[in-house]
Amino acid sequence: MNEEFFVVLNTIASVIVIICTVLSFQLLVGISRELKGLKTMDVMWTNFIILTNLFILLGITRAVGSIGTIIFEGLQPVFEALLSVTLILFFVFAIQLSLSIEEITE
Amino acid sequence: MKNLSFFAGIPLIMLASINALGGINQIDMSGTIVRLISYLLGVCGAAYLAAGLWSRAEKGSESWKYLSVSMILFVFWNIIGTFSILLDVLSIRKSTSGIVISDEALNTYIIIVQILDPVIAVIVFLILLFGLRKIINAMRTKPWTVFSKDEDDQEEKSNE
């Protein structure tokens, strides 16, 4: 398979991911607006919103990174570092959210 | 106690093997290890969260299942990312490390990883979008169904 195929595939995937993340972010804003009606915001919802935001950030970083490296290869380490930091933060908040979900389920 | 001391020694062994590498400079290798660790942490976090969300879906709204499936696919995405790092290292170090693997096999694995990576990324974020849409619809129409099963649905199921 030639290099152009992967460039096209990555670009199309990145564009779809960016569209999905932007729409997901709008939905997340809607969810947080719904939650504002409640006087006390649950810890679980706070963690859920933070985690989903991180997940969206992860998708955007990956998508922008894969398009950015096609244009300028020097950007690759920067995006990889950002991706690593976001993944580590994702791990922390995933554990926190799981624990708060377990508390509600019990 | 002996086991503990062995596990504590693993980072030292890794560092020693990094220093022993001749082909790749040390900064690149430490960057690669950070990436590898972050991907593995992503796998652990996403798998734990997927299990939590799935158990939530069993007792509450089905919309949590979409997010759980999205997290399971995210686990696969991270595993593919880990493999791509390992393949990158292997392709650079093949000549010096003495690992016997043909160029054709290595190229095939790299192509599979390069195709799967964007495809899974798209599926993950599409499912996340549908999951969030389901949750917000449930919150707007029947907010009590977000955390507990709908009584009408339960009655219908029991009648069947």
Contact B108, B90 (CB under 8 A): no
For the segment B104-152, what is each residue's pLDDT rounded down to a tens digit? Answer: 888 888 899 989 999 999 999 999 999 999 888 888 887 766 666 665 5
Nearest CA in chain A to B52: A98
Please report the pLDDT score of residue A18 as a whole number: 93
Per DSSP, the residues of A83-104 read HHHHHHHHHHHHHHHHHHHHHH
CB–CB of B35 and A52 under 8 A? no
Between B92 and B53, residue with greater pLDDT = B53
Q: A-chain residues within 8 Å CB-CB of B39?
A: 87
Domain segments of chain B: what residues?
26-151
**For B102, left (φ over 0), alpha (ψ -120 to 50), or beta?**
beta
For the segment B5-27, what is each residue's pLDDT rounded down to a tens digit? Answer: 544 554 444 445 545 544 444 44
Question: b/e for A10-47, b at 16 or more Cβ within 10 A?
Answer: beebbebbbebbebbbebbebbbebbeeeeeeeebbbb
Q: Residue A29 is part of which domain span? A: 3-105
Per DSSP, the residues of B10-41 read HHHHHHHHHHH-SSS-HHHHHHHHHHHHHHHH
Please report the pLDDT score of residue B32 as a whole number: 86
B144 to chain A, any CB pair closer than 8 A? The answer is no
CA angle B72, B75, B76 (to 5 degrees): 95
A7 to chain B, any CB pair closer than 8 A? The answer is no
Interface of B with A in 97-126 (CB under 8 A): 111, 114-115, 118-119, 121-122, 124-126
Please report the pLDDT score of residue B105 as a whole number: 83
Mean pLDDT of chain B: 78
The confidence band for A21, taking pLDDT boundaries of 50, 70 and 90, is: very high
Is this model's pTM higher than 0.90 or not? no
Say which of A9, A83, A97 has its CB closest to residue B118.
Answer: A9
CB–CB of A91 and B42 under 8 A? yes
